């Protein structure tokens, strides 16, 4: 059975993630107390219709019952039931803004009689341990709904999720650093196509731009050194059992140099046999 446990911060996009997973063939169950998870797994295994892909959303809405999550996960391991954990996250200020914009109440506000800001801080402290256990973490602070769906599709659309999923991500520092990144390469030191009039409105997905960026000796050497580093380090991440590796490339605006390098390195990793995809966070800004 392909069991995915979806959790994370309130307001980070768990409902959107569940909808996307349902489109990918997962049977999704929302707002389930952790203690019910083994019951659902057992029901799935014994039922007339065996559900081979199940996503269960469990979070702070379960109140005190959510504190049982660690024991429940240990119980699943003891029964040799394999599972993956997807954690949806976002910056505190983003979560607070979303609640204010939507005029919804954070689950802890009424229960604890506290403000949204205080509720977010308390929830983050409560979820600290489960976040550290997550196989996949997606920060939705700076990505659109479509980008979230695409990122989840890259991770979960294939039936086999046991290998290392690599995401080569481009972003613009002017819009904020990438909070998902395990490795960050700053390519602002390289010649910028933005200052070439005929390239300014194009992106690194176009050959005329990527050709310009990679046409300089320092760019070629920079790319070569990144490839050498990743050829050495990625197998080590795989050996350590890491499920997700986010490699981010940042330039000023996230349209030219970072996109070029994200595409270049993604193709290099694919040629090496790794499961790699790209996501260009700021390319349309």
- In this prediction the pTM is 0.82
- In this structure, are residues 173 and 258 in contact, taking their beta carbons and an 8 Å threshold? no
Q: What would be the CATH architecture of the domain defined by 2-156? A: 3-Layer(aba) Sandwich (3.40)
Beta strands in the chain (DSSP E): 2-8, 27-29, 53-57, 83-89, 136-139, 165-172, 183-186, 244-251, 275-280
Least confident of 10-14, 109-113, 211-215, 225-229: 109-113
pLDDT of 50-91, one tens digit each?
Answer: 578 899 999 999 988 999 999 999 999 999 999 999 999 999
The domain locations on the chain are 2-156, 165-280
> In the predicted model, is pLDDT for residue 48 greater than 60?
no
Provide the token pair at 184.
């960050």
> In the predicted model, is pLDDT for residue 11 greater than 90?
yes
| pLDDT tier for residue 45 given thresholds of 50, 70 and 90 | confident
218: which residues sit within 8 A by CB, 6+ positions away? Answer: 189, 190
Largest Cα span, the chain: 65
């Amino acid at each position: 059975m392909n069991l995915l446990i979806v959790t994370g911060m309130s307001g980070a996009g768990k409902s959107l993630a569940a909808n996307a997973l349902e489109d990918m063939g997962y049977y999704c169950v929302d707002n389930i107390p952790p203690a019910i998870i083994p019951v659902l797994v057992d029901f799935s295994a014994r039922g007339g219709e065996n559900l081979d892909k199940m996503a269960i959303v469990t979070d702070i809405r379960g109140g005190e019952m959510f504190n049982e999550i660690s024991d429940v996960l240990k119980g699943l391991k003891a029964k040799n039931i394999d599972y993956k954990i997807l954690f949806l996250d976002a910056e505190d200020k983003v979560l607070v803004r979303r609640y204010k914009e939507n005029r919804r109440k954070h689950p802890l506000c009424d229960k604890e009689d506290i403000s949204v800001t205080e509720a977010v801080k308390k929830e983050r402290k409560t979820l600290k341990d489960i976040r550290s256990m997550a196989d996949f973490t997606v920060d939705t602070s700076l990505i659109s709904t479509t980008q979230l769906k695409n990122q989840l599709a890259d991770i979960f659309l294939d039936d086999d999720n046991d290998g290392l999923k690599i995401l080569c991500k481009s972003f613009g520092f002017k819009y904020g650093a990438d909070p998902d990144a395990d490795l960050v390469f700053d390519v602002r030191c390289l010649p910028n196509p933005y200052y070439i009039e005929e390239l300014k409105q194009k992106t690194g997905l176009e050959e005329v731009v990527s050709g310009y960026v990679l046409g300089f000796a320092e760019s070629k050497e920079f790319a070569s050194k990144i490839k050498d580093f990743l050829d050495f380090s990625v197998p080590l991440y795989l050996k350590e059992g890491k499920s997700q590796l986010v490699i981010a490339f940042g330039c000023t605006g996230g349209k030219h140099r970072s996109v070029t390098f994200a595409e270049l390195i993604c193709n290099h990793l694919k040629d090496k046999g790794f499961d790699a995809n790209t996501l260009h966070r700021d390319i349309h800004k």
